């Protein structure tokens, strides 16, 4: 099977798909028209699939010959961003989002288009390989939550695979345009979301002595978090990104809510940080006569790339004439894990 020849012959279809997805982006949980379009194009090429409620579309291509089972995956949701009609050089873009306030700024339009064409071509050429290939169009990657429905479906239907491959486009300044970046081992960090509410006693701003101000707790907690000892050689970070308390300049609020995320590669390190975090919350809340409620929720696990799979990918791309760069671990997160 001449892969380069196949790709060149179907390049226009690939570009048309990408432009369609780019023009009509949809947010997490709202990908109905995207799903409808993918189903339409799979039907056109007689590709077998099922729709996983809230999860996406799972394609099955079975050669009916013994062999390995692979899962290929692409995400399909967009971001709540208004796309500019012009590029940095002031030139009007030929293809822009037509859905106001929504845009494919994370490459999922490319991912969906690439997987769609790949599955169509693999289905047409299933006499040329052995084993089975699954293809997953994943909804809701940006929130990290919809993959749960896919995994639940896999478990309930005894769907297993030997290896899973995904791809992500990106404009990374450290690498040459057109190169393939492969990163064995640690690649994307896991993410834990925290949502904390401090419960105090509000009152008039003129009498703070009669109040238990949740802001006092928050200030102390944020300062104390910086003192938690983490080995500087570890790939670990956290950030407080939201704080909401009160609405009047002369009224002390009853509650303060703050949210953020923890990024990690080692679960034991994340567990240690959360234990320290909760201890600080307890100590500082008691200090100011307040209480707290907390939620720590795993959003995505770390992406740890299998070294053998990386070698397979690297060798395959090299044979096709691509230059390969070794990637580095990133603190961003991906539901591909």
- At residue 19, the pLDDT reads 98
* Per-residue model confidence (pLDDT) at position 1: 74
CA distance 168 to 305: 14
Instruction: Provide the sign of the torsion angle of the four alpha carbons 99, 55, 109, 124, taken in this order.
Output: negative
Q: Residue 279 corresponds to which tokens in the numbers above?
A: 């201890």
Q: Give the H/E segment covering residue 307.
A: helix 307-319
d(CA 17, CA 40): 12
Residues of the chain where predicted confidence (pLDDT) is lower than 50: none
* pLDDT tens sequence across 280-295: 999 999 999 999 999 9
pTM over 0.75: yes
H/E stretch holding 67: none
Residues with Cβ within 8 Å of residue 321, at least 6 apart in sequence:
4
Domains, in order of start, for the chain: 3-170 (3.40.630.10), 190-299 (3.30.70.360)
Which tens digits make up the pLDDT trace of 80-123? 999 999 988 899 999 999 999 999 999 999 999 999 999 999 99
Strand 163-166 vs strand 69-75: parallel, antiparallel, or unpaired?
A: parallel
pLDDT at 173: 65
């Amino acid at each position: 099977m001449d892969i380069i020849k196949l790709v060149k012959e179907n390049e226009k279809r690939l570009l048309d798909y990408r432009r369609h997805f780019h023009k009509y982006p949809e947010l997490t949980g709202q990908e109905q028209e995207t799903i409808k379009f993918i189903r339409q194009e799979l039907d056109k090429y007689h590709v077998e699939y099922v729709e996983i409620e809230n999860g996406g579309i799972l394609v099955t291509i079975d050669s009916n010959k013994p062999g390995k089972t692979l899962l290929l995956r692409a995400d399909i949701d967009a971001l709540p961003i208004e796309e500019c009609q012009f590029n940095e050089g002031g030139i009007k873009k030929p293809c822009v989002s037509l859905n106001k306030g929504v845009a494919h700024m994370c490459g999922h339009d490319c991912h969906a288009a690439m997987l769609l064409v790949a599955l169509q071509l693999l289905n047409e050429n299933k006499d040329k390989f052995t084993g089975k290939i699954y293809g997953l169009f994943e909804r809701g990657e940006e929130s990290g939550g919809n993959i749960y429905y896919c995994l639940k479906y896999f478990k309930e239907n005894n769907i297993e695979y030997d290896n899973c491959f995904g791809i992500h486009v990106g404009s990374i300044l450290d690498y040459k345009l057109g190169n393939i970046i492969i990163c064995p081992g640690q690649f994307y960090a896991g993410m834990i979301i925290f949502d904390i509410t401090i419960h105090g006693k509000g009152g008039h701003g003129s009498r703070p002595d009669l109040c238990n101000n949740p802001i006092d707790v928050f200030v102390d907690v944020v300062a104390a978090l910086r003192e938690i000892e983490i080995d500087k050689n570890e790939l670990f970070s956290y950030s407080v990104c939201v704080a909401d308390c009160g609405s009047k300049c002369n009224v002390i609020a009853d509650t303060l809510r703050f949210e953020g995320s923890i990024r990690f590669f080692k679960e034991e390190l994340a567990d240690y940080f959360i234990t320290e975090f909760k201890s600080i919350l307890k100590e500082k809340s008691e200090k100011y006569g307040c209480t707290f409620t907390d939620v720590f929720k795993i959003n995505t696990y770390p992406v740890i790339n299998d070294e053998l799979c990386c070698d397979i990918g690297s060798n395959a791309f090299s044979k096709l004439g691509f230059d390969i760069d070794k990637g580095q671990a990133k603190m961003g997160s991906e539901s591909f894990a």
